[in-house]
A and B are shown apart, each in its own frame.
Chain A
Amino acid sequence: MSATPLLELRGIDKGFGPVQVLRDVNLTVYPGEVTALVGDNGAGKSTLVKCVSGIYAIDSGQIFFEGLPVSVNSPRDAATLGLEVVYQDLALCDNLDIVQNMFLGREKRSGLVLDEPTMEQLAAETLASLSVRTVKSLRQHASSLSGGQRQTVAIAKAVLWNSKVVILDEPTAALGVAQTAQVLELVRRLADRGLAVVLISHNMNDVFAISDRIATLYLGRMAAQVKTTDVTHSQIVELITAGRSGNLGLSENGGPR
């Protein structure tokens, strides 16, 4: 492999009471690459993301960040490491504006007082550096943003904090054609800046268009993680639906090969 992985998961297990959602999941994410995480509805993709970002505690397994074992117990821990997540349900506060949302939980202050001008300037520079031109005013409330704009703000937030790893959970699921293209372009640009990007998507065209690697979850297990150039559409579809395809994927009895 070219570089050392930025983020590596080894043997992650996670259950909710009697339901075992993730079983012995391994995942490696490299800087400068888009790693697509695919899998059927309920395969455990969102759960895996929430384990990495400190929203759920893992039952067992290890998380390595830049080669070092780390424990992520809260969203704050994840942010400190340089890991930013754009959630499927786009958590923005509708009653706050773009700047306020981008800095939420990490407000710039001078003494006790919020430093609004500095925050506004930084937010503007970040959006400009991503060539985002779709928002009218940085002071408009999140409630007045379109789906694509919300997605853009959430992604820009990751850039603002100089994150090393950005995980996007179905960022284009609710978007039209034009906005999907814009967001995907933005995602690719993040990777080209040297960030490690994990993209969760159900859209195989998107996945093949911008990802460097594809990891497939099947019923809470990692079926395979392969280079995008080494596989075909239909192989990935098979991995998603059956957990294996030819010599790829889980073995007959369900265990890893």
Chain B
Amino acid sequence: MSVTIEKAAPLTVGSHVRDYLSRVRGGDIGSLPAVLGLIALCVFFGIMRPAFFSAGNFANLFTQGAAVTIIAMGLVFVLLLGEIDLSAGYASGVCASVLAVLLTFHGWPWYAATLAALVTGLVIGLAIGFMVAKVGIPSFVVTLAAFLSFQGIGLILIRGGTNVPVRDEVLVAISNKNVPPALGWALFLLGVLAFAAIQLWQWRNRHARGLISEALAVVLFRIAALVVVVGAAVYVLNLERSRNVLITSLKGVPIVVPIIVVLLVVWTFVLHRTAYGRHVYAVGGNREAARRAGINIDRIRISVFVICSFMAAIGGVVAASRANSVDANTGGSNVLLYAVGAAVIGGTSLFGGKGRIMDAVLGGAVVAVIDNGMGLMNASAGAKFAWTGGVLLAAASIDALSRRRAAATGNR
């Protein structure tokens, strides 16, 4: 009965590759530019400054890029609706200030202070979402106003221009300590096995039901690729990177890495495996169609701002941990632009409806590599900003051009 549609063409490795290439030609390039750009940048910096490829610098990349990547993950949700949150950077600053002030001035334990910071993020998101969805002010304007206000609130919270130290061991560990090598391998094994199990189970399930499914080789290739890439990363991070082993030993996966992985998995699950995520894409793709399908548009719109500010709060905690302190500039200067840049460079469209959480991670890596590599080359802060801005512009151009191409080929 359903024969005509399902058994149309069994998928093979060849058809998978052909299908991918035709999608790329049709303007659906996804993260391809980010991956290619990342490889090119690494090769370039690796040649110019061999130190770029040292284990120590590799670990640095993660801790440097963590906060921006986490904030970018939240921004993906907002961008999926074709909205923008300009206040995400300073929102992370405000949340970090709340954390530091409660911790240092009021003597709260780390978990209570962290919880307060995260709740602050939720409240901020709720307020922004309400202004956008219920009051009907464009998100650009609401978050521009918030951008300014949060800068001020941050200043007030930390009582002027001083610098509030964060000395709690647990909090400092987040961005400065590493997972013991053995535990790192155990987590790696656990993650890889879980990924393989899910992939194979899904494949078998579709196969058993007679639905068209990818060639098994494609699934196996994907699992193998994950094992190789992540395995290599864990191996390098587990190398000794202390300059003098007699004084201290420095090895292991930075603690922020598993944190980022968990956030990546959780939000990817939410976006791709739940009805909520499906509705986010629907509202971003065609708001009127979503409304007619009975989706509560306002709720979806508010929720993405809540998620974005919540992720900004996590980013703020990570940033505070890395700096061991919070000041008026936490979450300021280039943080927001780097985060938006990361999402867009990774392949999330500024026009809404297209993007993945993985984009934030890939784009975050590109931004971190530029920042880090140019630092190694002793480039000035000015040059770093100029180059990152250029890359962002390039990514936005690719987004706009691929959209045009997609429209021309009927893909969008």
Q: Residues of A at under 8 Å CB distance from B?
A: 53, 55, 74-76, 79, 85, 87, 89, 91-96, 100, 104-107, 109, 112-114, 117, 120-121, 124-125, 127-129, 133, 135-139, 141, 143-144
Contacts and interface: CB of A to CB of B under 8 A. Distances in A.
12 contacts: A75-B292, A75-B293, A93-B281, A93-B289, A93-B353, A106-B293, A109-B275, A124-B5, A127-B5, A138-B5, A143-B410, A144-B411
A95 B292 contact: no
Interface stretch (B109-117, B141-149, B203-211, B334-342): B203-211
A109 to B, nearest CB: 6
A128 B211 contact: no
Nearest to B275: A107
B378 interface: no
Contacts of B285: 93-96
Contact of A117 (B3, B211, B410): B211
B286 interface: yes
B286 A136 contact: no
B284 A114 contact: no
Nearest to B410: A144
Contacts of A85: 292
Contact of B291 (A75, A107, A128, A135): A75
Given A79-B294, A104-B293, A144-B410, A117 B284 contact: no
Contacts of B291: 75
B273 interface: yes
Contact of A95 (B205, B211, B212, B353): B353
Contacts of B205: 117
A55 B274 contact: no
Contact of B273 (A95, A114, A133): A114
Interface in B27-58: none
Contacts of A92: 286, 289
A114 B281 CA distance: 14
Contacts of B292: 53, 55, 75, 85, 87, 91
A229 B354 CA distance: 51
Q: Which of B3, B274, B289, B412 has the most CB of A within 10 A?
A: B289
Interface in B312-367: 353-354
B244 interface: no
A128 B412 contact: no
Contacts of A106: 293-294
Interface of B: 1-6, 8, 205-206, 209, 211-212, 273-275, 278-279, 281-282, 284-286, 288-295, 353-354, 406, 410-412
Q: Which of B6, B281, B293 has the most CB of A within 10 A?
A: B293
Contacts of B286: 91-95
A70 B293 CA distance: 20
Shortest 7 CB-CB distances between A and B: which pairs?
A105-B293, A91-B289, A76-B294, A95-B285, A93-B285, A95-B353, A104-B293
A106 B294 CA distance: 8
A114 B274 contact: yes
A129 B412 contact: no
A225 B284 CA distance: 41
A113 B411 contact: no
Nearest to B295: A105
A106 to B, nearest CB: 7
With most chain A CB atoms within 10 A of its CB, the pick from B2, B278, B288, B290 is B2
Contact of B3 (A89, A128, A138): A128
Contact of B2 (A55, A109, A125, A135): A125
Contacts of B353: 93-95
A105 B294 contact: yes
A91 B211 contact: no
A95 B281 contact: yes
Contacts of B289: 91-93, 104
B2 A124 contact: yes
Contacts of A135: 5
A55 B291 CA distance: 9
Nearest to A50: B292
Given A93-B281, A107-B275, A114-B278, A137 B294 contact: no
Contacts of B5: 124, 127-128, 133, 135, 137-138
Contacts of A136: 8
Given A75-B293, A128-B1, 6 more contacts: A91-B286, A93-B286, A104-B290, A105-B282, A128-B5, A144-B411
A127 B1 CA distance: 10
B198 to A, nearest CB: 11
A151 B295 CA distance: 21
Most buried by A among B212, B282, B294, B354: B294
A56 to B, nearest CB: 12
Nearest to A140: B411
A104 B211 contact: no
B275 A137 contact: no
B206 A137 contact: no
A101 to B, nearest CB: 8
B295 A104 contact: yes
Nearest to A133: B4
